[in-house]
Amino acid sequence: MEVRRRSKRVAEVIVQTVSKKSQTKQEASLDSCEEKPSILKKSPTKPETSLDSCEEKLSILQNAAKLLRSTGMKIGYPCICTSLCTASHIFRLASYTDEKCLEVTSQNLSCLQKILEYNIQHGFYFFRISSQTVPFASHSICTIDWAKHFSLTLRSIGQYIKDNDCRISMHPDQFCLINAKDENIINRSVAELDYHCRLLDEMNLDSSAKIQIHVGGVYGDKQVSYRKDLIKNQSV
């Protein structure tokens, strides 16, 4: 029941915010027409400015975010902030070197800090960290201790997250399946999950930082696949 009430409140807040924005625009348009009625006759037809601009969408989300904060809920987005930078740079496996891995990881972490600061300034307290933060971290080719190398940076980011009470999550790609039939896929999936856990642990985040995973395939028998998934989850 509590979840339903919250969902209903979210819908009401967003509708209320959009309605106020639209009403303000309509009133401004009417005032303009009353002051200069001749414009309607002489000016060429121009497409109306709708709520399609990035600035207006951001304004709507900001207002909704502020209102939702009063309910204890947090809104945000996953991984990419096109207004700033990319926190998920990657490169081809064939060109892998430890130096390249550290260089790109440094860029990603620097961008992640900027995105988090941008989010707080604009009222967004939820963010999904990209799985590509440390390129090839779960691959056997990556033998460098990236966690030790970036220990201070990761702790600093984690502290910023905690200081601003952000809600953080990660979401491994769809190839991460712990109930797969192929044992190699399972092993790679476990390595990928281990990387995600280590990244969040190095930020010193508690269990409120979540890792959302794909349950896996049905493989023609839902019950067997479900039991297999439970067994693998327990072993992981």
Residues 145-192 have pLDDT tens digits of 999 999 999 999 999 999 999 999 999 988 888 877 788 888 899 999
Boundary-marking domain end, from 46, 73, 100 = 73
Looking at the fold, whether 174 and 186 belong to one and the same domain comes out as yes
Looking at the fold, whether 152 and 48 belong to one and the same domain comes out as no
Looking at the fold, whether 58 and 98 belong to one and the same domain comes out as no
Count up the domains in the chain and report the number: 2
What is residue 73's predicted lDDT score, i.e. its pLDDT? 77
pTM (2 d.p.): 0.68
Both tokens assigned to 23: 């009403």
Q: What is the CA radius of gyration of the chain?
A: 23
Looking at the fold, whether 97 and 158 belong to one and the same domain comes out as yes
Looking at the fold, whether 47 and 94 belong to one and the same domain comes out as no
Tell which residue, 201, 117, 108, has the closest CA to residue 166.
Answer: 117
Looking at the fold, whether 145 and 156 belong to one and the same domain comes out as yes
Q: Which domain holds residue 189?
A: 75-236
Both tokens assigned to 222: 């839902």
What is residue 210's predicted lDDT score, i.e. its pLDDT? 93
Q: 203 near 158, Cβ under 8 Å?
A: yes
Both tokens assigned to 106: 């440094």
Boundary-marking domain end, from 42, 73, 104 = 73
What is residue 179's predicted lDDT score, i.e. its pLDDT? 77
Boundary-marking domain end, from 51, 73, 95 = 73
What is residue 2's predicted lDDT score, i.e. its pLDDT? 47
Looking at the fold, whether 41 and 153 belong to one and the same domain comes out as no
User: Hey, what long-range contacts does 227-236 have (CB within 8 A, 24 or more apart)?
Assistant: 228/179, 229/178, 229/179, 232/178, 232/179, 232/186, 233/178, 236/178, 236/190, 236/193
Looking at the fold, whether 132 and 143 belong to one and the same domain comes out as yes
Looking at the fold, whether 66 and 93 belong to one and the same domain comes out as no
**81 pLDDT band (50/70/90 cuts)?**
confident
**218 pLDDT band (50/70/90 cuts)?**
low
